[in-house]
Amino acid sequence: MNWKTEWKNLLWIVLIFIGCFYLPVGYQRFDNAMLEAFHLVKWYAQEHVLLCLVPAFFIAGAIGVFVSQASVMKYLGAGANKFLAYGVASVSGTILAVCSCTILPLFAGIYRMGAGLGPATAFLYSGPAINVLAIVLTASVLGPKMGIARGVGAVIFSIVIGILMAFIFRKDDQAKAAIPMVMPEDEVIRPLWQNGLYFFSMVGILVFANWGKPQDPNGTWAVIHASKWLLTSGFAIAFALILVLWFNLKAWKVITTGFVVAISAWAFPAQPIIAFTLGFIGLAVITSLDKGEGGRWFSSSWDFAKQILPLLLIGVFIAGALLGRVGHEGLIPSEWVAMAVGGNSLRANFFASFAGAFMYFATLTEVPILQGLIGSGMGQGPALALLLAGPALSLPNMLVIRSVLGTKKTIVFVCLVIVMATVSGVIFGTFF
């Protein structure tokens, strides 16, 4: 008998027992926090898993199967042209209206395909941070200065963070840079423009299915929002044609799935998510049963889902318990947050950056939250600090990043975001 192991087991049993014995069930704040945790998980499952994560998993899986490793190495690899690599990664978020969690499958896909740590982390930050809709909404609600500062700051942030990550862990990138020298050329199955349209159609589905409702009911964004499901359908039809013509999926299977989706859209016009869900269920069935590229695509997508989704749901549950939802209390009183971010001191900016990094913000929700905090006395500097740290990071996001990059790189990435957001907030608060 290994007594050392047995004593460890006994210690765990005792600690778990004490935790259960003194579980604060019956205390209003604890009970409410647990309820908020389940509410947030339910909301996340309803609003983000089907509309955001499922398309993102399929896109990430497609990156792993249909994008050649040589191409990723050429444009985003450790030995790629730095100006091109960071330029592409830093503006990627302008076409992706995604949150800090939806970007994760895409980030994991390009990183595993050989992208350098610097460009990959620049992409990881820029995806949710440089969201055109969010920046426009920030400017219209919080003022043009805040909107411009957020947009410019996010682009600069992504490049600087990527460069610093690449410098700090340069030995890892040097090892990656040597790989293409001995890598055989990938077989070209179809032209680049066909793959480009294939990814463009999937990104179109992801973007328009998640197009948020703007505050101005008469603007261009509102017109697009009113037609979001029509636009999503157009991209879906183009996607279906591409799968049949260029990816050799059986036409009758794709047509059958399309027919089911059309019938459900006609039967439930007020709940388009039903048709959307059925479409992806059909895609999963078709690809999973395919013996060729389609089967490998599904397998790759499923691997990402297995790795990422459980960690995200656990993280969302913990975030809900600690911070609650907007307008609802978790374990940490909202008054503490409001008091801590008042003024433009270094402490206020750091707290805003730190709290924002661990909170979960769905796409565009950070703006009305900040509007309320500014009304309660939050300074301009801490507001910008939260805008730069919050949408790009969250507790669920960190758990998944750790599974991809490891603990050390994740800690450094999070610390860089918090420190840079704090410094930016102090500078902005000083001048504005």
Cα separation of 353 and 347, whole Å?
A: 10
| Highest mean predicted confidence (pLDDT) among 41-45, 297-301, 341-345, 359-363 | 297-301
Distance of CA 13 to the CA centre of its chain: 37
Gyration radius of the chain over CA positions: 23
Decide if 286 contacts 254 (C-beta within 8 A). Answer: yes
Decide if 119 contacts 177 (C-beta within 8 A). Answer: no
The pLDDT-based confidence of 182 (bands split at 50, 70, 90) is very low
What mean pLDDT do residues 296-312 have? 83
Q: What are the pLDDT digits (tens) for 220-274?
A: 778 888 899 999 999 999 999 999 999 888 999 999 999 999 999 999 988 998 9
Which of these, 221, 198, 202, 203, lies nearest to 96 by C-alpha position?
203
The structure tokens listed for 82 are 């730095």
DSSP structure string for 185-243 = PPP--S-HHHHHHHHHHHHHHHHHHTPPPPS-TTSHHHHHHHTHHHHHHHHHHHHHHHH
Among all chains, which residue has been given the structure tokens 């003024």? 343
User: DSSP letter at 52?
Assistant: I
Q: What are phi and psi of 391, to 5 degrees?
A: -65, -25
Cα separation of 146 and 154, whole Å?
A: 12
Check residue 312 and give its pLDDT. 73
Count other C-beta atoms under 10 Å from residue 394's C-beta: 26
Element (H, E) at 108: helix 103-112
Q: Which long-range contacts (CB under 8 A, 24 or more apart) does 406-410 make?
A: 409/117, 409/165, 409/169
Assign 331 to helix, strand or coil: coil
Q: What are the pLDDT digits (tens) for 48-80?
A: 778 877 888 888 788 777 876 666 666 666 666
Count other C-beta atoms under 10 Å from residue 366's C-beta: 24
Q: What percent of the chain has pLDDT over 90?
A: 15
The pLDDT-based confidence of 179 (bands split at 50, 70, 90) is low
Measure Cα distances from 240 to 264, 277, 281, 288, 328 in Å.
Answer: 17, 15, 14, 16, 42
Measure Cα distances from 56 to 99, 135, 189, 327 in Å.
Answer: 11, 22, 23, 29
Beta-strand ranges (E) seen in 346-419 are: none
Count other C-beta atoms under 10 Å from residue 406's C-beta: 12
Decide if 59 contacts 106 (C-beta within 8 A). Answer: yes
Check residue 174 and give its pLDDT. 67
Q: What is the mean pLDDT of the chain?
A: 81
Cα separation of 141 and 365, whole Å?
A: 12
Q: What are the pLDDT digits (tens) for 110-168?
A: 787 777 888 888 888 887 777 666 776 677 667 788 888 888 888 888 889 988 998 88
pLDDT surpasses 70 at 425: yes
Cα separation of 43 and 353, whole Å?
A: 25
346-358 vs 380-389: helix axis angle to the nearest 10?
A: 30
The whole-model pTM stands at: 0.71
Q: What are the pLDDT digits (tens) for 353-410?
A: 888 888 777 656 677 677 667 766 778 888 888 888 877 788 888 888 888 888 999 9
List, in sequence order, the alpha helices (H) in 3-66.
Answer: 3-21, 28-44, 54-66
Higher pLDDT, 75 or 291: 291
The structure tokens listed for 425 are 């907030």
Cα separation of 422 and 425, whole Å?
A: 5
Check residue 332 and give its pLDDT. 76
The pLDDT-based confidence of 184 (bands split at 50, 70, 90) is very low
Q: What percent of the chain has pLDDT over 70?
A: 84
Check residue 415 and give its pLDDT. 92
The pLDDT-based confidence of 181 (bands split at 50, 70, 90) is very low
User: DSSP letter at 180?
Assistant: G
Cβ-count burial 54-67 (b if 16+ within 10 Å, e if not): bbbbbbbbbbbbbb
Assign 379 to helix, strand or coil: coil
The pLDDT-based confidence of 418 (bands split at 50, 70, 90) is very high
Check residue 73 and give its pLDDT. 64
Decide if 48 contacts 362 (C-beta within 8 A). Answer: yes
Distance of CA 401 to the CA centre of its chain: 11
What mean pLDDT do residues 307-327 have? 76
The pLDDT-based confidence of 94 (bands split at 50, 70, 90) is low
What mean pLDDT do residues 7-28 have? 85
Higher pLDDT, 344 or 131: 344
